[in-house]
Chain A
Amino acid sequence: GAVVSQHPSRVICKSGTSVKIECRSLDFQATTMFWYRQFPKKSLMLMATSNEGSKATYEQGVEKDKFLINHASLTLSTLTVTSAHPEDSSFYICSARGGRSEAFFGQGTRLTVV
């Protein structure tokens, strides 16, 4: 299958700072990328859908000013958690889809805000 790389895999940051997470499709062009948040032993909660070159579409209840998404190229999307707080600590995971039907997931980023 196609390869999606997410970086960093783990990050610890101080409360009030911002953290950027990158999601790259390594061997295909991802026209659409999805960002999820996953709580321990819970399902994948879709945060937003991003299409290359256009603004992301956020799900209800997700603050767009807090979770900034940029999809500047067909191989890269970034999620920036701004002014992070301990309640933002979670597992964030992206998935990417190109011309093929299935979406491929990145390995996820465990964010801990202290």
Chain B
Amino acid sequence: GENVEQHPSTLSVQEGDSAVIKCTYSDSASNYFPWYKQELGKRPQLIIDIRSNVGEKKDQRIAVTLNKTAKHFSLHITETQPEDSAVYFCAASRGSGSGTYKYIFGTGTRLKVLA
């Protein structure tokens, strides 16, 4: 069935360093890939997303890359700050993310930025 694998499960980096989280999806029909940040006890918040018609998207310190052939996509956070500490989830969906298509979430990465 549909599956999204996410690695690593935990990641500790020094403040100012970069963090990379990788996801692999199984459904070749997936064409929308959002990333969510969830702080403890709070709701997941969308931080960036990418559609299959582009290979890379950047928003300030956050970037996402997509390799459709290999069916994997990655989140890159540069110049990490303590407030980046949270759990990050990737997801994959069909239909460019719209309509009734569900999201398949990865297992999450707990990022800890050490001051």
Contact = CB atoms under 8 A, between A and B. Distances in A.
A99 B97 CA distance: 10
B100 A106 contact: no
Band of interface residues on A: 20 to 34
Contacts of B45: 105
B43 interface: yes
A101 B99 CA distance: 8
Contacts of B105: 43-44, 46
B46 A34 contact: no
Contacts, number: 57
B107 A102 contact: no
A99 B98 contact: yes
B44 A44 contact: yes
Contact of B100 (A41, A49, A101): A49
Most buried by A among B44, B46, B106, B110: B44
A75 interface: no
User: Which 5 pairs of residues, A with B, have the shortest CB-CB distance?
Assistant: A101-B97, A105-B43, A43-B107, A44-B105, A107-B43
Interface of A: 1, 31-32, 34, 41-44, 46, 49, 51, 93, 95, 97, 99-108
Given A41-B110, A97-B98, 5 more contacts: A31-B99, A31-B100, A32-B100, A44-B89, A95-B103
Interface of B: 32, 34, 36, 42-46, 49, 89, 96-100, 102-108, 110
